[in-house]
Chain A
Amino acid sequence: MVRTGQRLLHSLLLLAGVSLFSFALLSVAPGNFFDELRLNPQISPKTVASLEQQYGVNRSLPVRYAHWLGSIANGSLGYSLLYRCDVGSLVLPRARNTLLLTTVATLLAWAFALVWGILEALHRGKWLDRLGGVCTSLLLAIPDLLLGLMLLVLAVRAGSVFAFRAYLGSGGTAASEASAGLGSRLFLPVLALTLGILPVLVRHVRSAMIVALDAPFVDAARAHGISASRVICRHALPAALNSLLSLLGFSIGGLLSMSLITEVILGWPGLGPLVLEAMFARDTYVVMAAVMLSAAFLIAGNLLADILTYWNDPRIRVVSA
């Protein structure tokens, strides 16, 4: 319990560090939201200056950071100049969509990877293993960006209407349409993400299972006449799970990055299209909120993986007690 508390505190401190770091980074960026207005000859420099004054763009860094921290407390997360509303109400539904997408993809990918990896480990060196090896290395070499494009083409060729609609709406400006056809639109992005993370997972499951299956306790279990399926599920898998759980935490970073680009290509109304639009418009607080949320997801994932490892492996519990 103490350990979990310590980890939690550490995560919070890390999150605070990330916020300071990315806030500083985004504040150093040259130019601000009103640069476009300045190019417009019909708007006087005085108007721009007063707008800047009104929104506090030119205040000093610590002051703005303090304001931003205050805005976290009331949940508004700052004000979006581009969308003219609180960042919180803008970003949170998007973050929920991203979370939905990545969670479904993670569950699917792990389910597939466990079955596939265990099968490969059991048929080590035989044709099934070789075929799997070729498939994973091919999938590994195809970047997520191409995976999204390929799925899009296949879907369009197959004449599926929802993919086409998703493609046309790839700007992703209207957040209201998000909930309408979410279920049917989930299919393509989930497929892209699942295929994207699958090869890494399969490889790790395979190698972890091979190590576990070669361990003396598996031989002992077999010698006791325990059935093959029970040996795999009760004896080998929990031993292999340890390294796999740390992979779970590790893979979330890659998954979130992959999800950003997949969302942009396949028009999923998640954080990806939003953060990109905000970046082009120099809408700092939206970018900031998205970056912070992604960091929060990643850190939470690592924390979860840590806790799961602790729960799974009695050896760690004994050592730390």
Chain B
Amino acid sequence: MNRSARRRIHRALWLVPLVTLHLVLLFPGFFAPYDFAEQNRDFPFRPPARLRFVDANGAFHLRPFVYALKVDDVSSVVQEDTSRVFPLRFFINGSRYSVLGPWNARLHLFGVESPGRLWLFGTDDFGRDLFSRILFGGRISVFAGILGAAIALLAGASLGVIAGFYGRGADAAFMRLVELFLALPWLYLLLAVRAVLPLRVRTVDAFLLLVAVTGLIGWARPARLVRGIVLSARERGFVLAARSMCASDWYILRRHILPQTYATLLTTAVLLVPQFILAEVTLSFLGLGVSEPIPSWGNLLAQLQSYRVLTSYWWMYLPAAILVMLFLLYHRASSALEKRATRVSL
């Protein structure tokens, strides 16, 4: 392998955690040991499970294990039951979940046998496994962000192309509309658009609603970017040459103009996705998005609004940690794309 190829691979290394995280969030049922709604009312706010190697008798186990928990009937104190160990197992059968719609499965990546509990990130106020809730919530938050960005980009790009390519009246009207959408701070615009829709929605609809709302508020900026590119591309020599040879509008758009917008669209997409994830998180945090019992990163963070949770249970911050990690990766991606763009143009 020569040096430049190695450098290229090194530059693309940030892609690995980014793609892995998305894959995990795409199939939360497999990677999460429990269902997101499974309650254990006896064990609210348990701290993250301790994976042990040495048991109560001092014997060493190669395979890490946990102890089951028991509640003392009199004092209602939760204690570890050290009489039996529950080793960590991979590819274990557990609760039923659906994989991408109609298919069901029971296979989980890891877990422990039944009376034992593996709460990797602890539990929330209903004794639900936080790790599983973060994964299932991530599926909603992240894919609402991605779908919203896709809609915004698609709408923005088509409007931008129409305005930039056909110009004149359409362009003038388009620019006024864009100005209108950019004249409101995005959160106020988000709330105004959200206000159109019913306040309390079924959780199933909430996802689609979030996608629609975020897509609706986000189209203006990419549209203006695309319009600018199309405007300058329209006057380039090769477009005029194609036109002189009687190329149709559609052909010129497809072959000569649209390819010039791809790099910008990709960069914009990488910038928009975290912003739209944040839009979902903000709406659900304020109680206007996805609601219980379906988890989303927004309503997981909303639990921190309670003073007791905020000050006493540090593991309830873990959704925030995952969120920040994902955002860091996205920012890394966008700066890498920017660097690449300047390298190509030089």
Q: Tell me the A residues contacting B by CB distance below 8 Å.
A: 14-15, 17-18, 21-22, 25-26, 28-31, 137-138, 140-143, 145-146, 149, 152-153, 156-157, 167-168, 252-258, 260-261, 264-265, 275-276, 279-280, 282, 287, 290-291, 294-295, 298-299
User: Which 5 A/B pairs are nearest by Cβ-Cβ distance?
Assistant: A257-B187, A256-B185, A141-B327, A141-B328, A253-B185
Residues in A whose Cβ lies below 8 Å from that of B182: 253
B198 within 8 Å of A (CB atoms): yes
Return B280 CB to nearest CB of chain A, in Å: 11
Return A271 CB to nearest CB of chain B, in Å: 9
Q: What are 15 sample pairs from A and B whose C-beta atoms fall under 8 A apart?
A: A14-B183, A22-B192, A25-B192, A140-B331, A142-B324, A145-B281, A149-B310, A149-B320, A153-B311, A257-B186, A261-B187, A279-B195, A291-B192, A294-B185, A295-B184
Residue contact B286 to A18, C-beta cutoff 8 Å = no
Residue contact A17 to B185, C-beta cutoff 8 Å = no
Residues in B whose Cβ lies below 8 Å from that of A17: 176, 179-180, 183
Q: Which of A153, A255, A276, A294 has the most CB of B within 10 A?
A: A294
Dominant secondary structure of chain A at its interface with chain B: helix
Instruction: Tell me how many residues of B have a C-beta within 8 Å of chain A.
Output: 39
Q: Tell me the B residues contacting A by CB distance below 8 Å.
A: 176, 179-180, 182-188, 191-199, 278, 281-282, 285-288, 301, 304-305, 307, 310-311, 320, 323-324, 327-328, 331-332
Residues in B whose Cβ lies below 8 Å from that of A280: 199, 287
Residue contact B191 to A287, C-beta cutoff 8 Å = yes
Residue contact A29 to B196, C-beta cutoff 8 Å = yes
Q: Which residue on chain A has the smallest CB distance to residue B301?
A: A145
Residues in A whose Cβ lies below 8 Å from that of B186: 253-254, 257
Number of A-B contacts (CB under 8 A): 124
Residue in contact with A294 in the complex, picked from B184, B197, B198, B324, CB distance below 8 Å = B184
Residue in contact with B184 in the complex, picked from A22, A137, A264, A265, CB distance below 8 Å = A22
Residues in B whose Cβ lies below 8 Å from that of A257: 185-188
Return A125 CB to nearest CB of chain B, in Å: 15
Q: Which residue on chain A has the smallest CB distance to residue B298?
A: A145
Residues in A whose Cβ lies below 8 Å from that of B199: 31, 279-280, 282
Q: Which of B188, B194, B198, B307 has the most CB of A within 10 A?
A: B188
Q: Which residue on chain B has the smallest CB distance to residue A281?
A: B199
Residues in B whose Cβ lies below 8 Å from that of A146: 301, 320, 323-324
Residues in A whose Cβ lies below 8 Å from that of B281: 143, 145
A268 CA to B208 CA in the complex, in Å?
32
Residues in A whose Cβ lies below 8 Å from that of B278: 143, 145
Return B107 CB to nearest CB of chain A, in Å: 34
Residue contact B286 to A264, C-beta cutoff 8 Å = yes
Return B75 CB to nearest CB of chain A, in Å: 30
Residues in A whose Cβ lies below 8 Å from that of B287: 280
A224 CA to B13 CA in the complex, in Å?
47
Residues in B whose Cβ lies below 8 Å from that of A142: 324, 327
Residue contact A25 to B188, C-beta cutoff 8 Å = no
Return B224 CB to nearest CB of chain A, in Å: 13
Known: A143-B281, A279-B195. A137 touches B331 (CB 8 A): yes
Residue contact B311 to A143, C-beta cutoff 8 Å = no
Residues in B whose Cβ lies below 8 Å from that of A261: 187, 282, 285-286
12 additional A-B residue pairs with CB within 8 Å, beyond A145-B281, A153-B310: A25-B195, A25-B196, A137-B328, A140-B327, A143-B324, A149-B320, A157-B311, A254-B185, A255-B185, A261-B285, A291-B184, A294-B185
Residue contact B193 to A298, C-beta cutoff 8 Å = no
Known: A30-B198, A279-B191, A279-B195. A141 touches B185 (CB 8 A): no
